[in-house]
């Protein structure tokens, strides 16, 4: 499947598709079971042309499992869901069960990861507020065994169950995508930017949007940790712009005659080159 939008935007990185399937693609890259990994590593691999697969045992980390749609994996975090609440906020050194969990996981964590586990990432003010953050997530159980990332250009429209299309763009390209998402709607709140893990912004939030009569796009990568990982892999400063298939087709259909064919967009591209 080709994208005229990507061509007009002159995207440095090719769009990535999220496909649901019960069959693992041949030669698909996959995390080892029980081994930590960030979904952003696999997103970068798909951007570079690889096909990657996840199942409910190979999603890399609990946040990744949750974000990809394998249910509430925070329950399986060290110290349980409470351990995650302290990890994302003030740190597990703040409660006895957290300190005990820290001793158990210390041999398996890098010093930086252990520091974050014990002293908190400090992305949310209190553990109680992390609980509200978890409750607000659109938890999903995907209907297939695998969630697959692959280049959009390799999608077979007649065979693949394509659910989400992800663009990675600079600020000019994100601005253009935002305008195009609103272009044919008649109202102006067709892109959301939730506070979420990087994987949640390309997974469970677009999955939820697919159920709406007029699905919205999801702007992502306000996750500071995910930005670190992805920037190391791509050597670029980008945001994600994820859309359910229906919105992708709508935006592709609206390209002809739009601002993307006019001189203002051409001027902006010239200034960036």
- Asked if residue 17 belongs to a domain, the reply is yes
Residue 29 lies in a domain: yes
Residue 128 lies in a domain: yes
Element housing 85 (H / E): helix 80-88
Task: Pick the last residue of a domain from 89, 111, 136.
Answer: 136
Which pLDDT does position 240 carry in this prediction? Answer: 98
The count of structural domains within the chain is: 2
Tell me the mean pLDDT in the region 45-66: 97
CA–CA distance, 148 with 52 (Å, rounded to integer): 6
Q: What percent of the chain has pLDDT over 70?
A: 100
Mean pLDDT of 251-264: 96
81: domain range? Answer: 73-136
What mean pLDDT is predicted for residues 156-165?
Answer: 96
Helix (H, G, I), strand (E, B) or coil at 192: strand
Total Cβ atoms within 10 A of residue 179:
14
Residues 18 and 147 sit within 8 Å (Cβ to Cβ): yes
| pLDDT value, residue 218 | 98
């Amino acid at each position: 499947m080709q994208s005229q939008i990507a061509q007009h935007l002159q995207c440095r990185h090719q769009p990535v598709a999220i496909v649901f399937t019960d069959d693992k693609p041949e030669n698909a890259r996959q995390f080892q079971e029980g081994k930590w990994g960030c979904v952003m590593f696999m997103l970068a691999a798909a951007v570079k042309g690889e096909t990657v697969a996840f199942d409910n045992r190979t999603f890399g980390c609990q946040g990744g499992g949750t974000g990809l749609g394998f249910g509430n994996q925070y329950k399986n975090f060290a110290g349980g869901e409470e351990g995650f609440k302290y990890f994302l906020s003030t740190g597990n050194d703040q409660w006895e069960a957290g300190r005990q969990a820290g001793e158990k996981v210390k041999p398996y964590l890098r010093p930086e990861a252990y520091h974050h586990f014990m002293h908190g990432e400090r992305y949310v003010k209190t553990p109680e507020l992390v609980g509200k953050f978890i409750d607000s997530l659109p938890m999903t159980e995907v209907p297939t065994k695998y969630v697959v990332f692959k280049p959009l250009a390799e999608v077979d429209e007649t065979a693949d169950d394509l659910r989400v299309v992800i663009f990675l763009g600079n600020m000019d390209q994100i601005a253009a995508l935002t305008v195009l998402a609103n272009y044919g709607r008649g109202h102006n709140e067709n892109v959301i930017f939730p506070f979420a893990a990087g994987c949640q912004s390309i997974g469970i939030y677009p999955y939820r949007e697919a159920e709406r009569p007029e699905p919205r796009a999801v702007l992502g990568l306000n996750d500071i940790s995910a930005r670190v990982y992805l920037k190391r892999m791509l050597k670029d400063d980008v945001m994600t712009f994820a859309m359910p298939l229906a919105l992708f087709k709508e935006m592709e259909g609206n390209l002809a005659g739009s601002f993307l064919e006019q001189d203002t967009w051409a001027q902006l591209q010239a200034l960036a080159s």
